[in-house]
Structure 1
């Protein structure tokens, strides 16, 4: 067999394995979701209920129900000072954070931005199921003008989560950071999407630095032994349930105002 055929076969095998893993994660999430009645049982978002439909989070649903999805970010969000009682979610997907933040009682108001029509439909369904529709304000794409939808008094006591699949580099600049300088901001980074990733990261950090103290979060370990719901699963299945399906180790920035 020639080199090209061998290489093509290896690529096909790798893609096939990736597809199979993703299908298994979705299957496990669906199964566990039904067993747990689509309800988060652990963590600060406990008692949040998902509708049966989803747009983005199908493979991650099991980890969400166990309260271990993006656990580092979740714990860091919940650690912010009490005065921050407004949550702003840019790239809200199915509303896990937008609605969970309200369920936690730590936040009183939630502003949710989601570019997908289907995503906004699911967010509204989940808000209705959880009876928080009056506290949630839903918008479409988060552009550089997104702050016009939010009262200044709310921006000054807001936690902002940004997860917009690489668009963070075009959205965030010195002017936008200046408008958000009293907020605490979490940014999920997708720098590896770009050939000029180092340049993009350097600009993002230099634009943020005058206004914020910058720290980093990364995915760490998970203790799955504490969940009786997982006792009957195999080791491989338990870790697939905990997996977030990342293509590399995820990094988030946390930006805390230098002046409040």
Structure 2
């Protein structure tokens, strides 16, 4: 027989597993209702495709325009003065394809380490009619900026999004950041992935590096408002509605927005 602590731990695990299964069920229900088309937000009208290689349950928040609202909104604002989106860790192309498909950016340069995800990226880009505007590469290294510059990418007209699951600490070297100095850079921080205090140390080192080159501000996940989403007004319980907002994050996420120091005005607060 389980002792009290073990029983509580088992119940906790079963509850979390059950919540994830419910999220997956709700995602499939929402995919049927929307036919895979984003309903709200800057990416409204984008077809995310029928296959997901990175956390399919997140498709619910994407379809409702709730996924990473803070980042999506910032990318939207920056597109007013920038024409190229560089996406490190493109996964299934929510930004790299979506932002081009809805006309926010003229082109994207997408780095993705997974062969399966790159294949899916190409399929989704083709389905949205933008395959010639979405350039897909493999793993991003600390030399990615040099390679893009050689390929003709003008960083003064670019926004760089970095979401590479703690590899940001190794890729964004002093040299790399200097090469990106004219770009707006958004970095998702994954210090919690590295255990034993390593993540905190690497994050502190990254902050020291970026502050040498950029103006820096932190962005955190904010509130979600479901009142303006008609599709959820009926036949969805409160529990299900809020599960649709979940991105199953391990913690409250944060990003760094790095703005150029060359006179380009900062976007946002």
TM-score of Structure 1 vs Structure 2, range by shorter chain: over 0.9
Is the 8 Å Cα contact of residues 88 and 160 (structure 1) preserved in structure 2? yes
2:164 aligned with 1:164: yes
User: What is the match of residue 192 of structure 1?
Assistant: 192
Is the 8 Å Cα contact of residues 142 and 173 (structure 2) preserved in structure 1? no
SS at match of 1:52: coil
2:116 aligned with 1:118: yes
Q: TM-score, normalised by structure 1?
A: 0.94
Q: Which digits, 9 at most, give the CA deviation of each residue in 1:72-109, with x for residues without a partner?
A: 11111211263311001101111000011102322101
Query: What is the CA–CA distance in structure 2 between the aligned matches of 1:17 and 1:109, rounded to whole Å?
Result: 43
Where in structure 2 are there 5+ consecutive unaligned residues?
265-269
Query: What is the CA–CA distance in structure 2 between the aligned matches of 1:132 and 1:51, rounded to whole Å?
Result: 14
Q: 2:22 aligns with which of 24, 28, 31?
A: 24
Query: What is the CA–CA distance in structure 2 between the aligned matches of 1:52 and 1:46, rounded to whole Å?
Result: 16
Out of 57-66 and 190-199, give the one that drifted further. Answer: 190-199
Query: What is the CA–CA distance in structure 1 between the aligned matches of 2:107 and 2:55, rounded to whole Å?
Result: 23
User: What is the match of residue 237 of structure 1?
Assistant: 240
SS at match of 1:11: helix
User: What is the match of residue 37 of structure 1?
Assistant: 35
Q: TM-score, normalised by structure 2?
A: 0.91
Out of 5-14 and 221-230, give the one that drifted further. Answer: 5-14
2:227 aligned with 1:225: yes
Query: What is the CA–CA distance in structure 1 between the aligned matches of 2:56 and 2:244, rounded to whole Å?
Result: 11
Query: What is the CA–CA distance in structure 1 between the aligned matches of 2:13 and 2:170, rounded to whole Å?
Result: 30
Cα shift at 1:14: 1.9
Where in structure 1 are there 5+ consecutive unaligned residues?
none
Q: Which digits, 9 at most, give the CA deviation of each residue in 1:208-252, with x for residues without a partner?
A: 112100011111111112112112200000000011111111101
Query: What is the CA–CA distance in structure 2 between the aligned matches of 1:216 and 1:94, rounded to whole Å?
Result: 25
Count of matched residue positions in the alignment of Structure 1 and Structure 2: 258
